[in-house]
A and B are shown apart, each in its own frame.
Chain A
Amino acid sequence: MKHDLELKVQAWLDGELPEHEARRIGQWIARDAEASALAAELGCVRQALSRHEAPVTVGESREFYWSKIERQIQREAAVPGKDSLPWLARWRKYLEPAAGVVALTCVILMAVMQAGSRTFDEISSPGDGMEAVTFHDQSAQMTVVWLRTAQNQSVPKNVRFEDEHGTVVDLE
């Protein structure tokens, strides 16, 4: 069977043919064994798929799933949308190269400024009964967050922590 006829059988099955052509193709399918078998196969697959899509569920809790959506909504609400600035679309071809040069300059300046700076960090919220003690080692480029319970207030006895003068500091 030629491929365009095969596609016609499919289109007939899907109800995509104009009425007069659908009648003609339908009559041909009824007479032709090969076309009939093809229509049966395609129809069977179509029916199986439409009735047997595998049920899939979100693997996260309802609260966690929603919390991420809510946070993204709030984050994007803080930024003006593209649609509110239609003139930007027209001027984009002129502004983008200029913005690229400005951004590159900023990135270079930031890289230079960051070379000697400390890393920003913060404790957001420790769990119940937990505390965090932070050690920064600039030369090793490492930050350690030591977690300890309220009952066990000691820092690790083996830590060798030095201040900016190189003096070993006893944290206990």
Chain B
Amino acid sequence: MSMDPDRPALEEADLVGMAQRGDMASFEALVARYRDKIYARAYSMMRNEEEALDLSQDAWVKGWQKLAQFQGDSSFITWMTRITINLCLDQLRKQKRLRAESLEAMEEDGGRGVEWRLPAANPNPTAGLEQAELRERIDRALAQLSVEHRTALVLHEFEDMEYKEIARRMKCSIGTVMSRLYYARRRMASLLAGLKRENSE
């Protein structure tokens, strides 16, 4: 299907409206416009390119199927991102069921690291870093977090979700969300400071 050259110039509301009336070409334009953002969200949660690709495409399919339910209460990309997040959470839960170990029990015990028990030693773990370097380090540090901790962090920091909503989506208590966030942030501070030390040696 070839893209109508005029479609990229259309407003999002017009594209969504036409797609809701069954115009597949308008939906394709929305996919083209937002595919990187949706893929990026899936990748931040799954940390696997193939899985992120599959889940982002599943999200678009689901978005098409549920398009009639989009009322414009939020932006279209926010609505699509929520669909993506739910699919990623379902997939993570499925993967966790297939794993023998009880990750939740390990993490709630504080995990392997002890950074979170110590007083704050890195008030400014990102000082002196260029933007590009900081982005790269954040990405590497995120990859080192467990699934549960990374998910809580992504939902709070990248999606601006409140504790209550994170708890609902992750199907755990607010206390658990707070502990996971706390551990994840302390670990990130330690990792970012540690990466800075490594590079300066």
Contact = CB atoms under 8 A, between A and B. Distances in A.
**A adjacent to B, CB under 8 Å:** yes
Interface of A: 1, 6-7, 10-11, 14, 16, 34, 37-38, 40-42, 44-46, 48-50, 52-60, 62, 65-66, 68-70, 72-73, 76, 81
Contacts of B135: 52-55
Nearest to A41: B120
Contacts, number: 126
A48 B186 CA distance: 13
15 contacts: A1-B119, A6-B182, A7-B179, A14-B181, A40-B123, A42-B120, A48-B134, A50-B158, A56-B36, A62-B32, A65-B57, A68-B57, A69-B57, A69-B61, A70-B24
Interface residues of B, number: 49
Contacts of A69: 31, 57, 60-61, 64
Contacts of A54: 135-136, 138-139
B192 interface: yes
Interface SS majority for chain B: helix
Contact of A44 (B61, B64, B65, B123): B123
B79 interface: no
B56 A58 contact: yes
Contacts of B120: 34, 37-38, 40-42
B21 to A, nearest CB: 16
A42 B153 CA distance: 12
A65 B57 CA distance: 8
Contact of A48 (B43, B64, B126): B126
A48 B134 CA distance: 8
A45 B156 CA distance: 12
Nearest to A38: B120
B53 A60 contact: yes
B195 to A, nearest CB: 12
B39 A58 contact: yes
Interface string B38-78: 01100110000100010011101100110000000000000
Interface of B: 1, 24, 28, 31-32, 35-36, 39-40, 43-44, 49, 53, 56-58, 60-61, 64-65, 119-126, 131, 134-136, 138-139, 153, 156-158, 162-163, 178-179, 181-182, 185-186, 188-189, 192
Contacts of A48: 125-126, 134, 138, 192
Contacts of B49: 59
Contact of B182 (A7, A66, A68): A7
A58 B35 contact: yes
Contact of B188 (A1, A10, A45): A45
Nearest to A76: B61
A38 B182 CA distance: 11
A23 to B, nearest CB: 19
Nearest to B193: A41
Contacts of B189: 41-42, 44-45
Contact of B40 (A46, A55, A72): A55
Nearest to A35: B120
Contacts of B153: 49
A45 to B, nearest CB: 5
A10 B184 CA distance: 12
Nearest to A65: B35
B185 to A, nearest CB: 5
A73 to B, nearest CB: 5
Nearest to A56: B40
